[in-house]
Amino acid sequence: MRFALLSDIHANLTGLRAVATAIEVDGPFDQVIVAGDHLVGGARPVETWEALRELGWTLVRGNHDDDVAGKPLPDYGASHEGTAEHVRWTRERVGPAIARELGELPFSVRVATPAGDLLAVHSSPRSTYDKCGGPHNTLEEVEAAYGGTGATAIAYGHWHASYVRPTPTALLMNVASVGLPKHGLPLAAYTVLTGTEQGWCVEQRQVPYDSAEERAAAAAVGLPAWEPRPRA
């Protein structure tokens, strides 16, 4: 079975369109899964949501989707200065109907494959806010966050950087970010995952997009300044 996996679009409509074109060229896929944080960050959240619905991909709920849906905001700290203002701006922009749809998205998606189950979450199987599967995390931290699912592969975003980490629990893969990659370059990330009886094959890819279009869209709507710097 063959999957396209992406995450953290953050209302970067230009990046989403670039990835959608690449996925169409790379296809066919048995399923395309988007691992959350769909609308907070960019200037066109409504248009991004409409595009995702039209594409018909499988959507998972992320922490910023919870925020827009109305859950109490956690303390994101100095690394995400301006997040609360951006969440409020996005809530007002999308309105209650889309906010409700975000809150109703599933926490996770599980798919049976010849290589075992694939589990897709936003950050970890226990929370939309975890950052416990990265290269800096100990194996004990990884086991606490990702253990016990029975899946042989777990895909997630939230960290905004591509990596693959084999562990005794499962093959972990971060599919990075379409809209706000950690490296700050106008490159939208996605992952191609193939599951066979012989195991998993992971291909992590990036596609360029026109960042000037996103800057122009932000200026046109008076998007609040927001410079997220993902960290542990």
Beta bridge partners of 171: 153, 166
Taking residues 19-45, report their average pLDDT.
97
In DSSP notation, the chain reads -EEEEE---TT-HHHHHHHHHHHHHH---SEEEE-S--SSSSS-HHHHHHHHHHHT-EE---HHHHHHHTPPP----GGGTTHHHHHHHHHHHHHHHHHHHHHTS-SEEEEEETTEEEEEESSBTTBSS---SSTTS-HHHHHHHHTTS--SEEEE-SS-SEEEEE-SS-EEEEE--SSS-TT-SSEEEEEEEEEETTEEEEEEEEEE--HHHHHHHHHHHTPPP-------
* Beta-carbon contacts of residue 181 (< 8 Å; ≥ 6 apart): 160, 161, 187, 188, 189, 206
> Is there a domain that residue 232 lies in?
no
Confidence band for 80, pLDDT divided at 50, 70 and 90: low
> Is there a domain that residue 230 lies in?
no
Q: Is the pLDDT of residue 163 over 50?
A: yes
> Is there a domain that residue 26 lies in?
yes
Instruction: Provide the 10 A C-beta neighbour count for residue 203.
Output: 11
pLDDT of residue 227: 47
Q: Is the pLDDT of residue 89 over 80?
A: yes
> Which CATH number does the domain housing residue 137 bear?
3.60.21.10
Q: Which domain holds residue 175?
A: 2-221
> Is there a domain that residue 35 lies in?
yes
pLDDT of residue 226: 54
> Is there a domain that residue 90 lies in?
yes
Taking residues 62-73, report their average pLDDT.
92
Confidence band for 131, pLDDT divided at 50, 70 and 90: confident
Tell me the two tokens of residue 11: 């209302």
> Is there a domain that residue 178 lies in?
yes
pLDDT of residue 2: 98
Confidence band for 76, pLDDT divided at 50, 70 and 90: confident
pLDDT tens digits along 43-60? 999 999 999 999 999 999
> Is there a domain that residue 231 lies in?
no
pLDDT of residue 230: 39
Tell me the two tokens of residue 111: 């798919």
Question: What is the pairing mode between strands 187-196 and 2-6?
Answer: antiparallel
Q: How many domains does the chain have?
A: 1
Taking residues 207-227, report their average pLDDT.
86
Taking residues 127-146, report their average pLDDT.
93
pLDDT of residue 73: 78
> Is there a domain that residue 229 lies in?
no
pTM: 0.93
